[in-house]
């Protein structure tokens, strides 16, 4: 006997309440194993793959990609015993394509609350299967499955009859089910209520026909132009004699509806524009604020207007650091890791925290306490297509230089791919942001919420510099340290930044402090 198991959206970490379905890794009819990846979801912090808790065959995908659902919402149904006889009640059966069996109307997740139904393929319903009568309009919409390009509205009178297809029959009779269309994959000319999936113009035309509306007047050549451009003629206002739609009307409508990307926003460089809606004149695109970018905005606003920020700056000669980086890149010990000046800056910050542990703290407003951390989870601010992310390297204070390099490389690569787990984003104690990678000299970084300090590491440039009493060409960078003035006063912040600068100016200083 088959067992249908619903997999509900779990809490991906830290009490998150919702997530967006990014992409499905499986389709209806696929066989899945326990722990096989089912779906990618985007939480407020990162993209996470959800594994299957069941083995079996995918029966339904209850949520479409791009939809945000709350934790606990069923998102997929898995038949854990696909060889058993069907026992799950179905809504109705549709005439099938040859060799595929009927399409069965079943509940569609959140859509059930709005009267929406989804069609999927299945075995013929057995005689005696209960058929539920839909509430209100039982219009079916298509799924992403390739054999469900169109579905048919189920008349209430048919469902009320309670008849089922005869046992062994490949399709229900016309008196016991929905009238068969000419093709399940396309609309019938004599059945305007059957619409192709995703064809908005057909849906609107069907609605007007049902309500007694009229179609636009246009000559056959104009209708062909409209078809070629994907223009709904019924939406075009005709300016010809008697309200007839002319070729110019169609071309003008298509030009107004066509979304145009600004010259400063090449489409290939801004994939996030695809999720937005373009204005009629093409001059604006509105993209919903959600997931990572929404969480980042909330966190930055909270931090900026809760913690009193103070920023101190220092310009440093990092010529010796650049020489050290060049040597380490030739060292066999570091042959399998990427060595950059950021690595040395991170190590310098860790040494400064070790010398001034008071900077490694947080302010607990609820309990009115200062929490001093006896560990350093070093956050690395990473710019991603979905917004700013700050994953952290756990217990970075315990790591040798090579281990720190490995941690940096893995963490940033994972963050930019959007694969960082929520646990990697939590419990950071101090952060470094490498604004120099964008050619920026420095800035006034906003604190990561819950932390007392953040270091901005600027671009390294060759500049004239006074060295040993003479003007030399040296590698120079600028550092900026923002601190929470409730926890870190000017003296402590200055001492921390001075220590970071001292190690970058002369990496041998690390041997003295390390």
Active site residues: 485
Residue written as token pair 């995908």: 61
**Termini Cα distance of the chain:** 66
Q: Quote the distance between the C-alpha of residue 379 and its chain's center.
A: 22
DSSP 154-207: --HHHHHH---PPTT-SS--TTTSPPPPS-TTS--TT-TT-EETT-HHHHHHHH
Please report, to the nearest 10 degrees, the dihedral formed by the alpha carbons of residues 387, 393, 394, 398 taken in order: -160
337 touches 406 (CB < 8 A): yes
Q: Is 85 exposed, middle or buried (0-12, 13-18, 19+ CB in 10 A)?
A: exposed
Q: Which two three-digit tokens encode residue 177?
A: 């089910």
Alpha carbons 2 and 6: distance in angstroms, whole number:
13
CA dihedral (109, 110, 114, 118) positive or negative: negative
Alpha carbons 30 and 129: distance in angstroms, whole number:
25
Please report, to the nearest 10 degrees, the dihedral formed by the alpha carbons of residues 214, 216, 221, 222 taken in order: -160
479 touches 442 (CB < 8 A): yes
Q: Which two three-digit tokens encode residue 499?
A: 């220590």
Q: Report CA-CA distances (Å) from 316 to 382, 470, 510.
A: 24, 17, 16
Residue 350, H or E segment: helix 341-355
155 touches 79 (CB < 8 A): no
Q: Report CA-CA distances (Å) from 200 to 196, 225, 230.
A: 9, 18, 10
Q: How many CB atoms lie within 10 A of CB 4?
A: 17
In three-state form (DSSP H/G/I as H, E/B as E, the rest C), the secondary structure along 251-319 is HHHHHHHCCCCCCCCCHHHCHHHHHCEECCCCCCEECCCCHHHHHHHHHHHHHHHHCCEEEEEEEEECH
Alpha carbons 382 and 349: distance in angstroms, whole number:
17
Residue 223: helix, strand or coil by DSSP?
Answer: helix
């Amino acid at each position: 006997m088959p067992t249908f198991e619903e997999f509900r959206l779990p809490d991906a970490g830290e009490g998150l309440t919702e997530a967006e379905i990014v992409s499905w890794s499986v389709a209806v009819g696929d066989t899945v194993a326990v722990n096989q990846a089912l779906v990618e979801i985007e939480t407020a912090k990162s993209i996470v793959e959800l594994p299957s808790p069941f083995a079996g065959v995918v029966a339904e995908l209850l949520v479409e990609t791009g939809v945000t659902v709350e934790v606990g919402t069923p998102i997929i149904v898995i038949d854990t015993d696909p060889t058993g006889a069907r026992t799950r009640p179905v809504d109705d059966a549709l005439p099938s394509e040859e060799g595929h069996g009927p399409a069965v109307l079943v509940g569609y997740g959140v859509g059930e609350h709005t009267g929406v139904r989804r069609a999927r393929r299945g075995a013929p319903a057995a005689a005696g299967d209960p058929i539920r009568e839909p509430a209100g309009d039982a219009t079916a919409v298509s799924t992403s499955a390739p054999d469900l390009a169109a579905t048919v509205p189920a008349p209430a009178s048919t469902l009320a009859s309670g008849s089922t297809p005869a046992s062994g029959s490949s399709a229900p009779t016309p008196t016991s089910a929905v009238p068969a269309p000419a093709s399940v994959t396309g609309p019938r000319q004599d059945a305007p209520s059957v619409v192709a999936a995703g064809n908005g113009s057909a849906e609107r035309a069907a609605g007007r026909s049902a309500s007694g509306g009229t179609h636009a007047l246009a000559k056959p050549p104009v209708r062909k132009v409209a078809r070629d451009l994907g223009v709904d003629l019924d939406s075009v206002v005709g300016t010809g004699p008697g309200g007839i739609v002319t070729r110019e009307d169609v071309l003008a409508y298509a030009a107004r509806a066509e979304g145009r990307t600004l010259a400063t926003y090449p489409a290939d460089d801004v994939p996030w524009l695809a999720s937005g809606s373009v204005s009629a004149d093409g001059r604006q695109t509105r993209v919903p604020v959600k997931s990572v970018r929404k969480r980042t905005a909330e966190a930055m606003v909270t931090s900026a207007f809760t913690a009193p920020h103070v920023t101190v700056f220092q310009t440093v000669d990092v010529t010796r650091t650049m020489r050290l980086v060049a040597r380490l890149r030739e060292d066999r010990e570091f042959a399998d890791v990427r060595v950059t000046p950021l690595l040395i800056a991170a190590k310098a910050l860790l040494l400064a925290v070790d010398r001034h542990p008071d900077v490694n703290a947080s302010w607990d407003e609820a309990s009115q306490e200062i929490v001093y951390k006896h560990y350093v989870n070093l956050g690395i601010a990473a710019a991603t297509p979905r917004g700013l992310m700050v994953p952290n390297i756990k217990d970075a204070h315990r790591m040798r230089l090579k281990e720190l390099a490995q941690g940096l490389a893995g963490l940033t690569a994972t963050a930019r791919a959007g694969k960082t787990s929520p646990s990697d984003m939590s419990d950071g104690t101090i952060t470094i942001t490498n604004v120099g990678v964008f050619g920026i000299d420095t800035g006034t970084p906003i604190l990561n919420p819950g932390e007392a300090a953040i270091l901005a590491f600027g671009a390294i440039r060759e500049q004239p510099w006074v060295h040993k009493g003479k003007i030399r060409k040296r590698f120079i960078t600028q550092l900026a340290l923002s601190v929470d003035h409730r926890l870190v006063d000017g003296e402590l912040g200055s001492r921390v930044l001075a220590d970071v600068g001292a190690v970058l100016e002369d990496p041998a200083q690390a041997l003295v402090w390390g």
